[in-house]
């Protein structure tokens, strides 16, 4: 693990009053290294058995509670995790970006750059947060498809 990255991860942990431990650094590293949201099974595979499965669950849960990562369900209902934006806090998440789910590879991308539309609120309801999921084919699967045709 690169030294500067370790420092960054350590700072994230300290900011949330969490002790700096190997499992937590490993989880942060592995989530950070992917450009798509990662599920518990994927993390288990990529981290290897350096850390216990139960610990992995516990780390993911506490990271979500603290607002370090946010949970997104993929098309099959499996929980996946991605880093939160810096303004997330323990009690309020601010991850109101579009989540793109690829129907071929099942990957989830957090598309920060797309601006969110306004949703009109029906009478009697109040809306605190809007979650937008776009479902389609991601850029990687599209190029694979194009390659297989040509």
Partner DNA sequence: TTAAGTGCAAAATCTTTGCAAATGT
Partner DNA sequence: ACATTTGCAAAGATTTTGCACTTAA
Distance CA 68, CA 102 (A): 24
Query: Could you tell me the smallest distance in angstroms from the CB atom of residue 2 to its own copies?
Result: 28
Q: Which is nearer to DNA, 103 or 143 (CB)?
A: 103
Q: Which is nearer to its own copies, 2 or 128 (CB)?
A: 128
Distance CA 104, CA 13 (A): 35
Q: Which is nearer to DNA, 7 or 53 (CB)?
A: 53
Q: Could you give the C-alpha distances from 149 to 42, 103, 105, 139, in angstroms and in order? A: 30, 19, 18, 16
Query: Could you tell me the smallest distance in angstroms from the CB atom of residue 40 to DNA?
Result: 5
The listed partner (its own copies, DNA, none) that binds 53, CB under 5 to 8 Å by sort, is DNA
The listed partner (its own copies, DNA, none) that binds 148, CB under 5 to 8 Å by sort, is none
Residues found near DNA in the complex (CB under 7 A)? 13-14, 18-24, 40-41, 50-55, 57-59, 61-62, 77-79
Residues found near its own copies in the complex (CB under 8 A)? 71, 73, 77, 79, 98, 100, 103, 109, 111, 113-115, 117-139, 142-143
Work out the number of other CB atoms within 10 angstroms of the CB of residue 63.
Answer: 24
Q: Which is nearer to its own copies, 20 or 111 (CB)?
A: 111
Query: Which residue blocks in 22-124 are alpha helix, DSSP H?
Result: 22-32, 40-47, 53-66
Which strand (E) or helix (H) includes residue 108? Answer: strand 108-111
């Amino acid at each position: 693990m690169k030294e500067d990255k370790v420092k960054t991860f350590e700072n994230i942990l300290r900011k949330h009053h969490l002790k700096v431990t190997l499992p937590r650094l490993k989880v942060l590293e592995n989530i950070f290294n992917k450009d798509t949201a990662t599920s518990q099974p994927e993390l288990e595979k990529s981290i290897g058995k350096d850390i216990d499965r139960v610990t992995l669950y516990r780390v993911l849960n506490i990271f979500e509670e603290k607002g370090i990562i946010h949970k997104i369900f993929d098309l099959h209902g499996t929980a996946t995790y991605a880093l939160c934006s810096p303004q997330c806090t323990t009690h309020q998440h601010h991850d109101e970006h579009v989540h793109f789910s690829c129907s071929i590879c099942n990957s989830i991308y957090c598309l920060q750059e797309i601006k969110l539309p306004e949703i009109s609120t029906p009478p009697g309801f109040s809306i605190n947060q809007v979650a937008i999921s776009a479902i389609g084919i991601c850029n990687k699967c599209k190029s694979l498809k194009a390659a297989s045709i040509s």
